[in-house]
Amino acid sequence: MNLDGLTVDGLHRSFEEQGYICEKNLAVTVFLALKLNKPLLVEGAPGVGKTEIAKVLSRVFDAELIRLQCYEGLDENKALYEWNYQKQLLRIQMQKENIGYEIKERDLFSDEYLLERPLLKAIRSEKPVVLLIDEVDKVEDEFEAFLFEVLSDFQVSIPELGTIAARQIPIVVLTSNRERELSDGLKRRCVYLFIDYPTIEKEVRILKVKAPEAGERLSREVARAVNLIRSNKAVGKKPAISESIDWARALVALGAGSLSREAVMQTLNIVLKNKDDIDTVVREVGAEALAAYAQKHEN
């Protein structure tokens, strides 16, 4: 991927033009990962905008986004490649029936029978791609170690075909919700970035971009209310940015010009997706107090 002429300011501006509001420090880290040809490892709580970085990069560089969604039990076959066994068996059957020509073993393990999975697709792509390895903290240690070759050398090994090097060095973004500590080996291969929940001011800016119909006042009230909810340690699942956006849109849909007590009671389930958390906020903060807090700071 041609990164000639890329600057931190230019990248920061491109992110914001794509609707991704971020501090300049984030742009600096992403810039360095791109310039050093190293994967970007992004850690943070769910819903703070980690995955969105890969999506934005694919748009900024007009590159295809290839996503590997990680989960417990993910293995090399699902991530790298599989052989099309049905097609191989059909070919063997044709040989037995003397319909086709003689088949050699190497013919059965060729490109014709190879099913690309995300990692191999990214490595073999002729065009620039962004490879998103999402929620890498969910895989086992063995799979994490398997990723080392891809992340450090941008190549993969297939026993029947040998080593396949990347035709284009992909932009690689890994995300982690920090459900477990990642290995030093993986971290060493990456440029590290941590994203925290946004400040009130930053969340207001995000809402202005993602839910402009909410307007300045309602956006600020939502941002303050969400900030207060997140600060409550008894809330198990903190609201994501996307849930703040949904809350603002929901309030607009109801014609609510301000976050009143009634509006809070009617829509708290939009921003909190767990009954225990809703009960906690109602009991420990109270809908009236939450609304008053959001509005009080308007002055």
- Sequential pLDDT tens for the chain (299 residues): 668 889 999 999 999 999 999 999 999 999 999 999 999 999 999 999 999 999 999 999 999 999 999 999 999 889 999 998 888 888 777 777 766 566 676 777 888 888 999 999 999 999 999 999 999 999 999 999 999 988 999 999 888 888 999 988 999 999 999 999 999 999 999 999 999 999 999 999 999 999 999 999 999 999 999 999 999 999 999 999 999 999 999 999 999 989 999 999 999 999 999 999 999 999 999 999 999 999 975 54
| Same structural domain, 159 and 278 | no
| Same structural domain, 25 and 172 | yes
H or E stretch covering 132: strand 129-134
| Same structural domain, 232 and 276 | yes
The C-alpha atoms of residue 62 and residue 2 are separated, in whole angstroms, by: 12
In a 13 Å sphere around the CA of 135, the CA atoms on its Cβ side amount to: 10
Torsion angle, alpha carbons of 37, 43, 48, 51, to 10: 40
Q: Domain holding 164: CATH number?
A: 3.40.50.300
Q: Which DSSP symbol is given to 137?
A: G
The C-alpha atoms of residue 46 and residue 239 are separated, in whole angstroms, by: 9
Structure tokens at 122: 């990214």
Structure tokens at 284: 């420990």
Among 141, 173, 195, identify where a domain stops: 195
The C-alpha atoms of residue 254 and residue 175 are separated, in whole angstroms, by: 35
| Same structural domain, 140 and 49 | yes
| Same structural domain, 66 and 165 | yes
The DSSP annotation for 34-59 comes to HHTT--EEEE-STTSSHHHHHHHHHH
| Same structural domain, 236 and 175 | no
Domain with 282 in it: 200-295
Is residue 131 a contact partner of residue 170, using CB atoms and an 8 Å limit? yes
| Same structural domain, 187 and 272 | no
| Same structural domain, 56 and 171 | yes
